[in-house]
Structure 1
Amino acid sequence: MHNRNSNLAESLNEIFSTKEIELFFNYELNNDDITFLKTCMKEVLTIIPPDAYNCANLSSLLGAVIVDHSKIPIAIMTGHLDYKGSRVFNCEKPISIKTTNTKETLWKGHCWIEFGQYILDISIFRTVYYSENFPPLIKRDIINKYGEGKGAIMIPKDAIEEYGFEYTPCFALNNEQINGLVQGTKEKYLNKN
């Protein structure tokens, strides 16, 4: 966990001040926050039709809603995702600085939200359920463990091994990247005539 926190702090240093990093790590969710987050996740998952590999736009849209309507200090992270020791997504580079693409086809990493002692992944189940080329043994294991029809998962960092997922932070999205992804998502899903 120490190495993970070091990687995370290094990534956050690119987008946050020292005080903001301290607030980020020390934030504790309360019951109102949890209710708010559940409402936001349902809203975002309702707006964006189910599809695989939408981690960047789903996380960015959810992150923007959280930032705009709460005081929860979040970071939208990109990095590697392993499941039970097998690498599922390998992040070799950050997402393009200015992007309005809702799917980064050349980027091979994963995107999620972190705050306090939690990881929130709004996209992994959609990728598992709707991808035609997700590793079949991992897909079957995730479905057996979590079931069908799940939306998002919020994992306490101190119990992450119990969930089977390992999130390795590599880069934090900055406001320019988030705004580009949110704008692309709005254009694709919200501005239909």
Structure 2
Amino acid sequence: MTRNELVQEALYMAENITQNFRSVDGSCLYMSALLAAMMNDQFSVETRFVTGSLSVAGYTIFAHNPIKPKLTKKSDVIEQWDGHAWVELDDLIFDLSVFRTVFSTASTSRIQSLFEARFDRGSAYLVGQKNKLIEMGVVYTPLELLSDDDATIFIQNADRMGLINY
């Protein structure tokens, strides 16, 4: 599979997930887990399901708060977590939930304006080359790598919470 075919297939997956996922802010762990699992099932290249921080124009949008310690507890659903998750494939960032959260009522007008200056407000998800995003002042800093088993936990939780529309 060529890189272009790989990216096209990943975009198809991203579109499918965003169309079939209940529109709620703060769904990055669940949407990213689903995309990472789909990509890992279909592609022979390494995808990375990560958590970390996101800043725009030097302003921290999401700070990093480790999720791994919460996964070791025996709770069914992780309800409170302050952080951000996305999927990386080579030099590409796939962030399926950022616009849902940024343009929700949970976000400040300052954060919304930072994104409006760089992206179309009607975008369903963000996919971009890491270096191009950095040039735009959008910096994703991966700090925690999550496993396939971790992704499974989040997918099962999303299903339990009724976030995935079949």
Class of the TM-score when normalised by the shorter of the 2 chains: 0.7 to 0.9
1:57 aligns with 2:30: yes
Query: Which of residues 132, 136, 139 is equivalent to 2:109?
Result: 136
Q: CA–CA distance in 1 between the matches of 2:86 and 2:76?
A: 18
Unaligned runs of 5+ in 2: none
Q: CA–CA distance in 2 between the matches of 1:162 and 1:89?
A: 19
Q: CA–CA distance in 2 between the matches of 1:48 and 1:100?
A: 20
The 5 Å alignment of 1:95-134 reads 95=68, 96-97=70-71, 100-101=76-77, 104-130=78-104, 132-134=105-107
Q: CA–CA distance in 2 between the matches of 1:105 and 1:136?
A: 25
Q: Deviations over 1:86-112 (max 9, x none)?
A: 1111113224225653xx443211001
CA contact (8 A) 1:155 1:163 kept: no
Residue in 2 that maps onto 1:32: 5
Higher share of residues assigned strand: 2
CA contact (8 A) 1:29 1:116 kept: no
Q: Deviations over 1:51-76 (max 9, x none)?
A: 11100000001111111122231010
CA contact (8 A) 2:13 2:38 kept: yes
Specify the SS of the correspondent of 1:43: helix
Structure 1 residues 129 and 100: alpha-carbon distance in aligned structure 2, compared to 1, 3 A threshold? farther
Structure 1 residues 105 and 179: alpha-carbon distance in aligned structure 2, compared to 1, 3 A threshold? same
Structure 1 residues 191 and 141: alpha-carbon distance in aligned structure 2, compared to 1, 3 A threshold? closer
Amino acid at match of 2:154: L
- How far is 1:117 from its partner? 1.3
- How far is 1:161 from its partner? 2.0
CA contact (8 A) 2:96 2:125 kept: yes
Higher share of residues assigned helix: 1
Equivalenced residue count is 162
**TM-score of the pair, normalised by structure 1:** 0.75
Q: CA–CA distance in 2 between the matches of 1:51 and 1:63?
A: 19
Identity percentage of aligned residues: 22
Structure 1 residues 141 and 158: alpha-carbon distance in aligned structure 2, compared to 1, 3 A threshold? closer
Q: CA–CA distance in 2 between the matches of 1:100 and 1:122?
A: 23
**TM-score of the pair, normalised by structure 2:** 0.86
Runs of 4+ deviating beyond 3 Å: 189-192
CA contact (8 A) 2:21 2:165 kept: no
The 5 Å alignment of 1:168-183 reads 168-183=141-156
Structure 1 residues 43 and 100: alpha-carbon distance in aligned structure 2, compared to 1, 3 A threshold? farther
